[in-house]
């Protein structure tokens, strides 16, 4: 049994992950700006504060905290918030771990396949590939840099570059199951990497329980889908009509602004590395969606 500090513990992934970790008899403490449960403890980035009780006898940190990439339009203020919510929080954790001389067994962090950029290409991106130079890549670069600093304390680091997470409890599918998104977006030829939330959470559990599971991994299903093929499978599973007309780029840009790029562009990512150490429960989109909706 390990004691695990979880940030972003009340979010979509964090909620299921907490349940799975508790089922494995791990002790979970969650950092929150407004703690309301016994195992929730306060932290405050502006005041550089983490409740010391959350750090007692700590073994692992799983860092999921971060403002939602697609929750709001990308104003300059929002862009900075997207970076700071990930990076400053990791920096604060690093500072407290170093300050209290805590011998962590591992720092496990989320990141995104946005590391490779919002681009549509024939490249199947591998973990060793260089990052892109656009804004979505910048978020991931700074995010991962903040995680890697724990290596200076000789703490093993695991980073999961996560694709679109599919869940019955919200997230991307809630937005996709609407008239606007039950159509091909733009050309429809852009790839849409995805992962079932259960597979993603299982990877985090593995990172805690398998000491060899360190480094950077693409957390994405092995099955490649374009925006158009994804939409067709979703419509079929839902029993809903998928409109034969593509949503023009300018319409999406009017609706969501600059962040439209994350749905109008997309490339495949390689799962060769993760498949060597993890067996997917949901490899096909059809199977994943049927689990969620039926």
* pLDDT for residue 92 is more than 70: yes
- Share the mean pLDDT of the chain: 93
Mean pLDDT of the region 7-11: 94
* pLDDT for residue 36 is more than 90: no
Task: Give percent helix, percent strand, percent coil of the chain, each to the nearest 5.
Answer: 40, 20, 40
Mean pLDDT of the region 124-137: 96
CA pair distance 59, 118, nearest whole angstrom: 36
Predicted confidence band of residue 258 (pLDDT cuts 50, 70, 90): confident
Which is higher by pLDDT, 251 or 155? 155
* pLDDT for residue 183 is more than 80: no
Collapsing DSSP to helix, strand or coil, 6 comes out as: strand
* pLDDT for residue 279 is more than 90: yes
CA pair distance 160, 25, nearest whole angstrom: 23
* Mean pLDDT lowest among 47-61, 191-205, 239-253: 239-253
Q: Spell out the domains of the chain, with CATH numbers in brackets.
A: 3-293 (3.40.50.720)
Mean pLDDT of the region 203-218: 97
Residue % of the chain over a pLDDT of 90: 78
pLDDT at 156: 98
* CB proximity list for 56: less than 8 A, separation 6 or greater: none
* CB proximity list for 97: less than 8 A, separation 6 or greater: 55, 61, 104, 150, 153, 155
* pLDDT for residue 39 is more than 90: yes
Helix axis angle for 197-209 and 12-23, nearest 10°, is 50
CA pair distance 249, 233, nearest whole angstrom: 22
* pLDDT for residue 90 is more than 90: yes
Count CA atoms within 13 Å of residue 8 on its CB side.
22
Count CA atoms within 13 Å of residue 134 on its CB side.
13
Tell me the residue length of the chain. Answer: 294
* pLDDT for residue 219 is more than 90: yes
Number of neighbours of residue 231 by Cβ within 10 angstroms: 21
* pLDDT for residue 110 is more than 70: yes
Mean pLDDT of the region 224-232: 93
Collapsing DSSP to helix, strand or coil, 216 comes out as: strand
Mean pLDDT of the region 253-282: 89
* pLDDT for residue 208 is more than 90: yes
Locate all alpha helices (DSSP H) within 101-196, ordered by sequence: 135-148, 172-176
CA pair distance 167, 169, nearest whole angstrom: 5
* CB proximity list for 50: less than 8 A, separation 6 or greater: 31, 41, 42, 43, 92, 93, 96
Predicted confidence band of residue 180 (pLDDT cuts 50, 70, 90): low
CA–chain centroid gap for 268, Å, is 16
Beta strands in the chain (DSSP E): 3-7, 27-32, 40-44, 49-50, 60-63, 106-112, 124-125, 157-162, 164-167, 170-171, 194-196, 215-219, 268-269
pLDDT at 217: 98
pLDDT at 174: 81
Predicted confidence band of residue 181 (pLDDT cuts 50, 70, 90): low
Q: Alpha carbon of 216 to those of 11, 109, 112, 191, 282: distances in Å?
A: 22, 10, 11, 21, 21
pLDDT at 257: 75
Find out whether 72 and 22 touch, Cβ atoms under 8 Å: no
pLDDT at 135: 94
* Mean pLDDT lowest among 44-53, 146-155, 176-185: 176-185
CA pair distance 75, 182, nearest whole angstrom: 27
pLDDT at 179: 62
């Amino acid at each position: 049994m390990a004691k695990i500090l979880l940030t972003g513990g009340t979010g979509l992934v964090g909620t299921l992950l907490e349940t799975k970790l508790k089922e494995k008899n791990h002790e979970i403490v969650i950092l929150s700006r407004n703690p309301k449960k016994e195992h929730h403890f306060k932290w405050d980035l502006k005041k550089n504060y983490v409740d010391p009780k959350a750090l007692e006898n700590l073994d692992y940190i799983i860092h999921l905290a971060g403002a939602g990439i697609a929750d709001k339009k990308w104003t300059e203020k929002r862009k900075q918030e997207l970076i700071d919510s990930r990076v400053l929080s990791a920096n604060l954790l690093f500072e407290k771990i170093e300050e209290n001389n805590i011998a962590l067994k591992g720092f496990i962090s989320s990141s995104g396949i946005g590391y490779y950029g919002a681009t549509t290409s024939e490249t199947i991106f591998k973990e060793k590939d260089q990052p892109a130079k656009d804004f979505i890549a910048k978020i991931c670069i700074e995010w991962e840099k903040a995680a890697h600093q724990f290596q200076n304390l000789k703490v093993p680091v695991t980073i999961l570059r996560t694709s679109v997470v599919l869940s019955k409890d919200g997230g991307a599918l809630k937005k996709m199951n609407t008239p606007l998104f039950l159509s091909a977006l733009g050309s429809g030829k852009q790839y849409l990497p995805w992962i079932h939330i259960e597979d993603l959470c299982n990877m985090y559990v593995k990172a805690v329980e398998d000491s060899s599971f360190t480094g950077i991994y693409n957390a994405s299903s092995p099955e490649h889908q374009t925006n158009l093929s994804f939409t067709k499978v979703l419509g079929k599973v839902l029993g809903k009509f998928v409109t034969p007309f593509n949503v023009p780029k300018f319409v999406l840009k009017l609706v969501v602004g600059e962040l439209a790029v994350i749905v109008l562009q997309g490339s495949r990512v390689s799962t060769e590395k993760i498949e060597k150490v993890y067996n997917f429960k949901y490899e096909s989109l059809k199977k994943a969606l049927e689990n969620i909706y039926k």
